[in-house]
């Protein structure tokens, strides 16, 4: 476990990149230049940024934004809430797994997103 000039280990910085999802991923990606940390930060941006966008699109498609208004909103409300709950559960599981693996020093790749993250890190060198 190497430490940066700020005294934060690679594993600690990689864990930190997941704490607030894509937001901390973006901050860590811009600040830390170590490849292991940048990979986890990029993966955080891709995974949780993507899930955030999907949740917004699902909510909009089912009319679940700004007070659940819209024509026929009650017909769609149940299915939309179930889908959003499933996405939230997926986010929670991925969040915990990614944080644990990052702190353990494992370069765990979320399918598809891990490859995109590696491309981002390679492109920024």
Give the pLDDT of residue 15.
95
User: pLDDT band at 62, cuts 50/70/90?
Assistant: confident
Residue 20 falls inside a structural domain: yes
Which structure tokens are listed for 3? 């430490």
How far is Cα 83 from Cα 58, in angstroms, rounded to an integer? 8
Residue 2 falls inside a structural domain: no
Does residue 31 have a pLDDT over 60? yes
Q: How many domains does the chain have?
A: 1
Q: Report the percentage of the chain scoring pLDDT > 70.
A: 82
Residue 43 falls inside a structural domain: yes
- What average pLDDT score do residues 17-21 get? 94
Which structure tokens are listed for 32? 């830390």
Give the pLDDT of residue 72.
53
Residue 1 falls inside a structural domain: no
Look up the domain containing 46 and give its range: 10-123
Residue 3 falls inside a structural domain: no
Which structure tokens are listed for 111? 């399918």
Residue 4 falls inside a structural domain: no
User: pLDDT band at 70, cuts 50/70/90?
Assistant: low
Residue 67 falls inside a structural domain: yes
For residue 122, give Cα distances in angstroms to 10, 39, 63.
Answer: 18, 9, 39
Residue 64 falls inside a structural domain: yes
Per the document, the length of the chain is 125
């Amino acid at each position: 476990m190497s430490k940066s000039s700020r005294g934060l280990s690679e594993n600690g910085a990689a864990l930190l990149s997941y704490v607030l999802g894509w937001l901390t991923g973006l901050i860590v990606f811009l600040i830390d230049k170590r490849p292991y940390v940048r990979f986890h930060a990029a993966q955080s941006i891709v995974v949780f940024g993507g899930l955030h966008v999907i949740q917004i699109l699902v909510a909009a498609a089912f009319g679940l934004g700004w007070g659940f208004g819209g024509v026929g909103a009650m017909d769609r409300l149940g299915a939309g809430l179930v889908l959003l709950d499933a996405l939230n559960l997926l986010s929670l599981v991925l969040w915990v797994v990614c944080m644990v693996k990052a702190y353990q020093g494992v370069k765990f790749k979320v399918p598809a997103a891990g490859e995109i993250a590696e491309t981002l890190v390679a492109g920024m060198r």
